[in-house]
A and B are shown apart, each in its own frame.
Chain A
Amino acid sequence: MIRTPWQVTRSAWYAMFMREAVARTMADRMAWFWMLAEPIAMVLIMIAVRTIAMGKGKIVPGAEFVPWLVVGLFGFTLFRENMMRALGAVSANNSLFAYRQIKPVDTVLVRCYLEGMLKSFIFLVFIFGGILLEIDMLPADPLMALFAWFSLWMLGAGLGLTFSVLSSLIAEVERVVKITTTPLLLISGVIFPLNFIPQNLLPYVLVNPIVHGIEVLRSAFFPAYRLLPGVDLLYLWFWALAFITTGLLLHIRFEARVKVK
């Protein structure tokens, strides 16, 4: 029985997905707890910072602060976790390359898929939790929200694909990427609304594609939300598609070197 290349790839993805899913959710008994507790803790800290630093004044035009923060935070972590998990995928699964049918790119794709699924599930849990607590968390435009969510996911996956190869070729890449993620949280307008920055700085803020995804995601949730002028999902997709293509090309070109590392 000779399987087609597609069948071989499918079983490799299936096997790796099950393995990663078990490792992520069952490996330690607190895994599920932390998946929920981490974003809750983050939101609580941010609310505390806001009330102490800025008083209780309404600072986000057109949206309640808590849902606004939750949506932004989830959008951002979806991007960041996809990028960082994908970045570590190749080195974490190094031993698997003994099995010929597993290629380095498979480990990245499987991780991104799993990460997106987990984050989506947890986001849904939060939305339902919000509804139960009578916090308005339902998206006004669900299709747009899904698309913006998907866009951020693909952006993270694209960067992850590219950096997963680069970091196996150049060891310093991982460190540099890690350093940049914290400032990204600030300049992407996750915690402080970008509506308040001076007009002349706006073009620089908009260079960052994550801003476009998060802002569109928020506007899909809150109909009265004032979208930052100049925000365009198409711009995010230029980045996402460019990085996905670059990443796949790098995986083809450097497969042998990445495998041996």
Chain B
Amino acid sequence: MISIQNLYKRYHNHHGSDWVLKDINIDIPSNVSVGLVGPNGAGKSTLLKLIAGMDEPDKGKIIRDCRVSWPIGLRGGLKGSMTGRQNVKFVARLHFGQADETMDEIIRSVEEFAEIGSAFDEPVRTYSSGMRSRLGFGLSLAFNFDVYLSDEATSVGDRRFKRKAQQVFKERVGQSSLIIVSHSEGILKDLCQAGIWLDNGKAHWFDDIEDAISAYHASSNFAPK
């Protein structure tokens, strides 16, 4: 379970600093996939980064008592001058130290999933953005996390890859869950059970993702008739 308690977050800039997230109290149970919805700038990605531990809250805390992934599809985690294989090795070492058998297994599974062929041994800076996200996506799936965080990750790549990614997530339902930020309702409805709607710094929990989406639509002026 991930427990968010009295969480406040703001960014300091030259034009004052309003709270992006204000007094958020939410418990996200394990084995429930959650979709984050809300308009641009509502703090969806900020909340995801906070859950991932990439950023610290100004007040309050987040308690994770399960294995939480880094945000999937994250491009920053790959080093351009190193090959895909070297990047995978780095992350494998980071998680397992010097265990060589697991390393080989991880490299093989990433190579198979990413399907980028011989480019796997080329420097990452030569990759197209689609290839990069394939690699990043395959990389995070090679580790068995309890909760996967995803920031629009499933919407990159071509059709075939998109379908494959969604397939993997569906298979994993039960063992691991997802927290997704996405503007695509199809993906949210396909993959998530519950939803969180972010509105003016407040977070509202919905047990059903459909309710979260309709609450979000009702708040914006162009709700579908």
Q: Chain A: residues with CB nearer than 8 A to chain B?
A: 7, 10-12, 14-16, 18-19, 22-23, 27, 94-102, 256, 259-260
> Is there contact, CB below 8 Å, between B94 and A22?
no
Please give, as numbers and ranges, the residues of chain A lying within 8 Å of B89 by CB-CB distance: 18
B162 within 8 A of A: no
Other A-B contacts than A12-B94, A95-B76, 6 sampled, CB-CB below 8 A, are A11-B98, A15-B91, A19-B82, A19-B86, A96-B77, A99-B94
Q: Which of A14, A99, A100 contacts B97 (CB 8 A)?
A: A14
Q: Which of B52, B74, B81, B94 contacts A101 (CB 8 A)?
A: B94
B70 within 8 A of A: yes
A43 to B81 alpha-carbon distance, docked (Å): 32
Q: Of all chain B residues, which has the CB nearest A92?
A: B79
Please give, as numbers and ranges, the residues of chain A lying within 8 Å of B98 by CB-CB distance: 11, 14
> Is there contact, CB below 8 Å, between B95 and A23?
no
Tally chain B residues at the interface, Cβ within 8 Å: 26
From B53-61, B164-172, B175-183, give the one contacting chain A: B53-61
Q: Which of B79, B86, B94 contacts A11 (CB 8 A)?
A: B94
A97 to B89 alpha-carbon distance, docked (Å): 17
> Is there contact, CB below 8 Å, between B81 and A27?
yes
**How far in angstroms is the closest Cβ of chain A from B53?**
4
> Is there contact, CB below 8 Å, between B70 and A100?
yes
- Across chains A and B, the number of contacting residue pairs, with CB separation under 8 Å, is 64
**How far in angstroms is the closest Cβ of chain B from A168?**
15
> Is there contact, CB below 8 Å, between B94 and A15?
yes
> Is there contact, CB below 8 Å, between A18 and B82?
no
Nearest first, the 4 A-B pairs at minimum CB distance are A95-B76, A15-B93, A11-B97, A256-B56
A16 to B77 alpha-carbon distance, docked (Å): 13
- 19 contacting pairs across A/B (C-beta < 8 A): A11-B93, A11-B95, A15-B93, A18-B90, A19-B86, A19-B90, A27-B81, A94-B76, A97-B54, A98-B52, A98-B71, A98-B74, A99-B70, A99-B77, A99-B91, A100-B54, A100-B70, A101-B94, A259-B56
B222 within 8 A of A: no
A201 to B98 alpha-carbon distance, docked (Å): 54
Please give, as numbers and ranges, the residues of chain B lying within 8 Å of A10 by CB-CB distance: 97
Please give, as numbers and ranges, the residues of chain B lying within 8 Å of A100 by CB-CB distance: 52-54, 68, 70
Please give, as numbers and ranges, the residues of chain B lying within 8 Å of A18 by CB-CB distance: 89-90, 93
Q: Of all chain A residues, which has the CB nearest B89?
A: A18
**How far in angstroms is the closest Cβ of chain B from A28?**
9
Please give, as numbers and ranges, the residues of chain A lying within 8 Å of B76 by CB-CB distance: 94-95, 98
> Is there contact, CB below 8 Å, between B96 and A11?
yes
Please give, as numbers and ranges, the residues of chain B lying within 8 Å of A99 by CB-CB distance: 70, 77, 91, 94
Please give, as numbers and ranges, the residues of chain A lying within 8 Å of B95 by CB-CB distance: 11
A157 to B202 alpha-carbon distance, docked (Å): 45
Please give, as numbers and ranges, the residues of chain B lying within 8 Å of A11 by CB-CB distance: 93-98
A15 to B54 alpha-carbon distance, docked (Å): 19
A256 to B74 alpha-carbon distance, docked (Å): 20
B66-88: CB near A (< 8 Å → 1, else 0) gives: 00101100101111011000100
